[in-house]
Structure 1
């Protein structure tokens, strides 16, 4: 049986939509330093710069200081998967994103209060991405993350975070044996998605 204090979660992200950030990125994209001839630089500006700018903007989806949360899915213990997006009536909506992140943090705090123990966050690459992205994004949006949010979780402290990717790379075990070790044999969360 999966402990009710294990929270399985995953986020999907989007690049920034902030025109000021995009303008700053656009202004910072330069031709490679190896290009010296004016005609070579002019050709790069005309042919390659737009793609370089687009790539730089796309990379903001990997940084919670600039990127946006597109969706969050989570399951509490062996319960159903709950999923929601930051999409409003006309696409991405910052107010909806704020409510989504605050709602997840509120649910985790509720569980912490109910069980008198800090929830264990479980997922794939959550130590190096999801946890940090949500923490940064929350700060940008003016949301106070829970005081126990494991921004600097130690890999050996599996009471805080059980990162499947970290388990796989540190032990060399198979995905099946890692999941079995994390949640027990044949105890996978049910997948009934509820959307917003």
Structure 2
């Protein structure tokens, strides 16, 4: 069996049109009824509420975008592709798929990641729909954590009804954690042009995912 360890880093909506749509959806709290109270909220609180709503789009593929993809086949060194220019998302995803095709010549790999079925795979799939990119034949279109095509480390630990962060799972299993950077910092790092910092963080998550996966396979009595 070939394992493909996968992790992506995402950023909030970048296009002005998408950001405008998000801003237009931000409304005052429902309990506000008086015109003067609403006017005060519009002036004092709405700008921050809009920024918060835009920041949350990094988790929504209809708005958010991919800025880095990391991967590794089996025990190979982690690789990554990074988006540098603001309009380079499509080229970044295409580079990722091209590198995948160069990297595997065997059976379709099992994709391994932390919340990979619920987030990474689906986010890539949806962005490909938007960007007009054809998916590889082995790519799972409707991934389930228990499929043979996917091994989701979060589900393997927590089950389908619960969650655990990668950081907490690393601590529980005695694996070194993320250090000074976490996913909440990626958008700011991207805005500052620190693309290699993001890439290094993403590749680090690949290493952490692989260590988690190997511990799980050993416990389950399977070969790593």
- With normalisation by structure 1, the TM-score equals 0.79
Query: 1:85–1:107: structure 2 CA closer, same or farther, 3 Å change rule?
Result: closer
Q: What secondary structure, in the 3-state scheme, does the structure 2 residue paired with 1:153 have?
A: coil
Please report how far the alpha carbon of residue 84 of structure 1 lies from its aligned counterpart in structure 2 after TM superposition. 2.2
Query: Pairwise mapping of residues 72-91 of structure 1 onto structure 2 (< 5 A)?
Result: 72-88=69-85
Tell me the residue number matched to 1:193. none
Tell me the residue number matched to 1:144. 134
Q: What secondary structure, in the 3-state scheme, does the structure 1 residue paired with 2:7 have?
A: strand
Tell me the residue number matched to 2:180. none
1:166 aligns with 2:163: no
Query: 1:84–1:110: structure 2 CA closer, same or farther, 3 Å change rule?
Result: closer
Query: Pairwise mapping of residues 109-124 of structure 1 onto structure 2 (< 5 A)?
Result: 109-110=101-102, 114-115=105-106, 117-124=107-114
Query: Between Structure 1 and Structure 2, which shows a larger proportion of helix residues?
Result: 2
> d(CA) in 1 for partners of 2:156 and 2:116?
12
> d(CA) in 2 for partners of 1:33 and 1:154?
37
Deviates more, 1:125-134 or 1:65-74: 65-74
Would you say the 8 A contact 1:162–1:182 is kept in 2?
Answer: no
Q: CA RMSD in A?
A: 2.7
Query: 1:65–1:183: structure 2 CA closer, same or farther, 3 Å change rule?
Result: farther
Tell me the residue number matched to 2:145. 155
Tell me the residue number matched to 2:205. none
Please list every run of 5 or more consecutive structure 1 residues that lacks an aligned counterpart in the other structure: 189-196
Query: 1:183–1:160: structure 2 CA closer, same or farther, 3 Å change rule?
Result: farther
Tell me the residue number matched to 2:215. 180
Would you say the 8 A contact 1:123–1:162 is kept in 2?
Answer: yes
Query: 1:154–1:25: structure 2 CA closer, same or farther, 3 Å change rule?
Result: closer
**What is the number of equivalent residue pairs in this alignment?**
176
Tell me the residue number matched to 1:50. 47
Tell me the residue number matched to 2:123. 133
Would you say the 8 A contact 1:16–1:66 is kept in 2?
Answer: yes
Please report how far the alpha carbon of residue 109 of structure 1 lies from its aligned counterpart in structure 2 after TM superposition. 4.0
Would you say the 8 A contact 1:168–1:178 is kept in 2?
Answer: no
Tell me the residue number matched to 1:10. 7
Larger radius of gyration: 1
